[in-house]
Structure 1
Amino acid sequence: MTSSNKDFSIKIEAAHNDPSLTFNHTCLRVKDPVRSVEFYEKNFGMKLHAKKDFPDMKFSLYFLSFPKDNMKTNCHNEPDVFSSEGILELTHNWGSESDPEFKINNGNVEPHRGFGHICFAVADVEKECNDLEAKGVAFQKKLSDGRQKDIAFALDPDGYWIELIGYLNNKHGNTLPTKDVGMRFNHTMIRIKDPSKTLDFYQNVLGMKIHKISEHANAKFTNYFLGYDIPEGESWLSMEGILELCHNWGTENDPDFSYHNGNQAPQGYGHICVSCTDPSKLCSEIEEKYGDKITWAPKFNQGKMKNLAFLKDPDGYSIEVVPHGLCV
């Protein structure tokens, strides 16, 4: 059950007045973690910061990102993967790597479309694509394919799409940054049914801002790019922690239409996560202002894993809320 018919016009003050709010990570389930971690490290230069095992629930979490010089440490003196943007969380349910019938839902195949892709931004997208091809990385779309010649889509071992875009000399007219700042985990894309309801949710409930709207009239869809504040010297194209909402025109008028949220079978995409210094305050205000208009699973500090919460957006996608410095 989703909350797509709910009104999310109430502004949550804790979300709008908290500069610590961060779009922290995106979670994807993987079949074989050894294969997937090696793929992201070898081909993109990501770094594995932490691995967490949960024997009682028989799953493991792997936290990767592009190199970060300023990553803090948590109470265990380990890398604090919950305080930064641009974290990729890979979830492995034990045994899937040995099951020949197990397959990940990448979110782009009917009838299970919903999650679209993750996106890495680079200074020179043509050079990056050439390097990836030389390494044997498969592509869903090369730069030379289709109408859009400035984006490509690589494929990871589970068939997830990885969009590749350039932030220098781009068609959007952004003048920042002015030099190569390295590869960035720029955004995560999910498809949405009704932009008016979903935009209200992410702006009013979670305090995000719209940084860019891109309308494609010929193909009848619009993309909305949201996030928190843009760092000085950068643009929405080069920063990390952007959420792309893709609306295919007309879906909002079909009462029977819905997207697959990735957490129902067949599973794949898991969630996005926002972190802050005081998630208890944020969650308490959301509960107070919205009541049963919000679906929680679980509420803050009420699940097996403490000091976190999961709530659902109007399409039933999950959003995790955690504190900076969380020790798991």
Structure 2
Amino acid sequence: MDDTTNQADAAGEQRCGFVAIVGRPNVGKSTLMNRILGQKISITSRRPQTTRHQVMGVKTEGDTQTVFVDTPGMHIMGKDRNRAINQFMNQTATQALRGVDCVVFIIDRTRWTEEDQIVLDRLAPLEVPVILAVNKVDWLKDKSTLLPWLEQVAGKRAFTAILPISAKNGTGVDALEAEVGRHLSVGPHYFPSDQVTDKSERFIAAELVREKVMRQLGDELPYQMTVEIEEFRDEGRVVHISALMLVEREGQKKILIGEGGERIKQIGSEARIDMERTFGAKVMLKLWVKVKRGWSDDARALKSLGYDFEE
């Protein structure tokens, strides 16, 4: 692999590859991809299962293009195992492993949970390199526990590399990118050099609204909330966006609107600031809430909202 890489670099050939970022919920997958890309593509919050879709982030540097695939956290579904939205997220995470050049498997410091084991088991059939990224090492109170843990976790699989990182502050991320680069294939780039994601601006707008809801409401609002963009009109200097927030019960709608409409105003204000930064234009954002009972447990409704189940 090193000889091929060196020969490709010497010849100035293009190199490209897909890299799946996997792990249980809330280990920092989206934070890592945003850090690598230098901008927000995947939304983040402290709440598990923030990421629902497979999101590609494209980084092109010279002759090398790396396509990172951020995935929903693979999780134990428990009492929600029959809920369509949960099935969709687990299915999406598994599908992201198809046809990749390597995998970055993220775990949280020196913790190993049942859900980490689920991820490891799903990686077992893969023959591509798997890099273990031990995230949030800056949070470790006792740094002396790290090395023994790295030696212990090395026995769980023949990992290509095991690297301690902090996706939030960037520690070790350069080393991780260098390791990923070793496993990219010689071949043409899949995306234009200035493209940073496969997702549309409408998708990103919807996700930014959903991020603000999750960050503000935390456990007040169940997972049964999604955002649908009904209008996205780009007039150059001004972008007009109308976003519909769907919930399943009237009580959830009241929570989302807040007393005197204060909650929805705050969500809109914070989302608009991020949108203007992302789209490079003034944003006129309109938000409203609608009750759509059972949408999160209805595969047909999910598909109409952009949650596409694939065979």
- Do they fold alike, i.e. is TM over 0.5? no
TM-score by length of 1: 0.23
The structure where helix makes up a greater share of residues is: 2
Largest Rg, 1 or 2: 2
TM-score by length of 2: 0.24
The structure where strand makes up a greater share of residues is: 1
Ranked by relative contact order (alpha carbons within 8 Å, sequence separation 6 or more), the top structure is: 1
